[in-house]
Structure formats: structure tokens, C-alpha cells
Amino acid sequence: MAKPGRKLLPRILLAGGAAALALAGAEAGMRAYLVSKSGATDFASYRRRCLGEQLAIFEQDAAGELTDLRPGQHQGKLITINRQGFRGAPALEPKPADGFRIVCIGGSGCFGTTSSGDAATFPAFLEKSLRENANDPAAVEVLNGGLPGATTALAITRFEQRLRPLRPDLVILYNLINDILQSRRAKLGLDPRMRPLVPVSGPVSSLLSHSAIYLAIVSARTEREKAAEIAEANRAQADQARGTPAARERARAVEQAVTREQAGSGDANEKNLYLVPEHVAEFRAQLERFARLARQSGATPVFCTFAMRFRGDETQREYQENGPATARYMPDWKMAWGRSAP
């Protein structure tokens, strides 16, 4: 007569197998969801982002801030840093006498952090489009001088030190929200982005960190903790701003904007509330510096920058008066672009 345990064994194995399949399916589904939601190129890059790991392609300063790209490095088949220290194919040496060279500088939007490869970045698409309409396609070069996380000031400094010697004919400053994020960091008194979403403190957590389900659970908890820290910083700021009605109202507006942003219902333009006024003046000074450096290099400066200080409902005249470094108003995305005035 068979023992009861032997009769149960097939059922246990079947149930265990079904549970394992269900878990594998959930893991695969979560990986696809997290990669799609985050805009990462693959799960490995998403995991590195959660763990706060910096890739070998970057140079960092003592504070851990990204300062440049390391020549000759690569991230798999997705990102190639050439021998001249920027992404994609290197510039032709020497520059052809009849060549037309464009250099693009800025942050991750210019670099193409989430692009599927070197040929799928903004500068690469621009080069492809220009070559399709050029009499001599080989004479047109568009170089990707972007650096993820770069503020306008850092992007311009990098152009001055690394890309200016390449003698571009035209330089595009393509930067979006890094200046706003930096100003927001100073406004709130902390930068929760600098802390990893998923800490690894030993072999167990290191092993678990390869699971998308684990990353989702731990990162959600960390996000809640960060939100609490931001809320506390806003409360402290509000307490300090009780001196004048205007200061109290601004603090209240910032707190409400942060709340809406965390709930996913905030307007992206509300990030203007985070700006430190002095940073707006610095931003405009950097645009003037960019134009000066480009012209001194014999290149035409082109601006494609976030219109940080604007509400979104300005008239053309207001925009022209308050944004002398830009030339055209684009109300659909609060962006400004155009060639600088002669």
C-alpha cells in the first residue's frame, strides 16, 4: 500500500511547477513594464539606474557628479564613446576644406540616454536628414557633444574645452530641464535623486536586486520615503517664509505643485515654481556666454533651450523682451529655439 506522502508528491510538484511558471511570467511582465515605463534601453540598464551605479563611460568628480565622457569606452552595443570623447563616430581629421560641421551640446536629451543606439539620437537623426538633402552628403557632419545630466553651464564648458577645437560651423545648445532640476535642488535644500532607489548591502540583497519584482517593491518604498523628505523640506521652507504674505504664498504654491507632480497630475510648467531667481539670471548669462564662445570659434550659435522663466501664455513681445537669447516662441512645449541675432 502506497504511503500518503507519495500520493501527495505529484500534486506538490505540480503545484510548485505552476507557482514557478506563474512567478516567471510575473517577473517577465514586470521587467517589460518597468523598462517601458522608465524609458530604459533594457532591464540591465534599468537595474543599474535603480542601484545608482555609474557606467564606465563617465568621468566623475569627488562629489560623484558626472563631468565628462571617457574616450574609447562603450556600453555594450548601445553606446560608443569615440577616441575624441563624445558619442558616435569621431570627427573627420583633418576637417575637409568644403565640410560643414555641426556640434550639438546639452544633457541627456542631446546625448540620447534612452535611445536604442548611436544612430538613434537627435544629432544622428539631424545628420541623416541633412545628408539626404545635401549635394555632397559626406561633407556634412553632426557631432553628438551631449553629456547626461549636464547643466547649461557644464555643457558650454565642455564645448569650450573639448569640442571647440574641432572648428564647428554651427553649434546647437540643446538642453531641457537640468537647470531647473539644479535650481529645484537648491530651493528644496536636498537632492533625493542622488540616493539609489534600491540599496544593496550584502549578498542576499544583491541577488534579489536581479528581480524586477524586488526592484519594483523596494523602489516604490524608497520613492515614498523621498516624497516624505521633500514634503518635510517644503514644510520647513514654509515655516521660514512666514515673514511676508508673498513668501508664504510662493511656499504654498511650491508645496501644491510638488503634491500634484507626485500624483502624476501636475503640469510640467509648474516646475518653474522651484526656480531660485538668481539661477534665472545665471541661465541667461550662460546663454550669452555660449553665443560669445561660438562666435569666437567662427560658428553660428543656435538655441534650443527650455524657456525656464516663462508661464506659457506670454505674448510674442513679452517673450522677445524677456528672453533676448532666444528668437521664437513655441507655446506647445514652452520651448524656445532659433538662430541668434547677428
Q: What single string gives the DSSP state of each residue in 27-68? A: HHHHHHHHHHHHT-SSHHHHHHHHHTPPPTTEEE-TTS-EEE
Nearest to 215 by CA among 205, 225, 201: 205
Give which of 116, 140, 114 is closest to 128, Cα–Cα: 140
Q: Please report the pLDDT score of residue 239 as a whole number.
A: 66
Spatial distance between the Cα atoms of 10 and 3, rounded to a whole number of angstroms = 13
Quote the pLDDT of residue 289: 92
DSSP code per residue over 283-317 = HHHHHHHHHHHHHHTT-EEEEEEE-TT--S---HH
Question: Around Cβ 174, how many Cβ atoms within 10 Å?
Answer: 22
Residue 298 to residues 23, 101, 160, 170, Cα–Cα distance (Å): 60, 12, 13, 8
Alpha-carbon Rg for the chain in angstroms: 25
Share of the chain above pLDDT 70, in %: 65
Q: If DSSP states are collapsed to H, E and C, what string results for 117-180?
A: CHHHCHHHHHHHHHHHCCCCHHHEEEEEEECCCCCHHHHHHHHHHHHHHHCCCEEEEEECCHHH
Instruction: Give 86-176+279-339's CATH code, choosing from 3.40.50.1110, 3.30.390.10, 3.50.50.60, 3.40.50.150.
Output: 3.40.50.1110
Pairing of strands 58-60, 66-69: antiparallel
Which three cell numbers mark 325? 537669447
C-alpha grid cell, residue 56:
564606465
The reported pLDDT for the residue numbered 258 is 57
The pLDDT value recorded for residue 211 is: 92
The C-alpha cell that represents 20 in the structure block: 514557478
Using an 8 Å Cβ cutoff, are 230 and 192 in contact? yes
Q: Distance (Å, rounded) from C-alpha 274 to C-alpha 186?
A: 9
pLDDT at residue 172, as a whole number: 94
pTM: predicted TM-score of the whole model, two decimal places:
0.61
Residue 267, all three cell numbers? 503640469
The helix (H) or strand (E) run that includes residue 188 is helix 178-188
Q: How many CA atoms lie within 13 A of 226 on its CB side?
A: 18
Residues paired with residue 103 on neighbouring β-strands, in sequence order: 143, 171
Ranges of the chain with pLDDT below 70: 1-7, 39-41, 53-55, 63-65, 176-177, 180-195, 230, 233-234, 236-244, 246-248, 250-280, 306-342
Amino acid in position 186? A
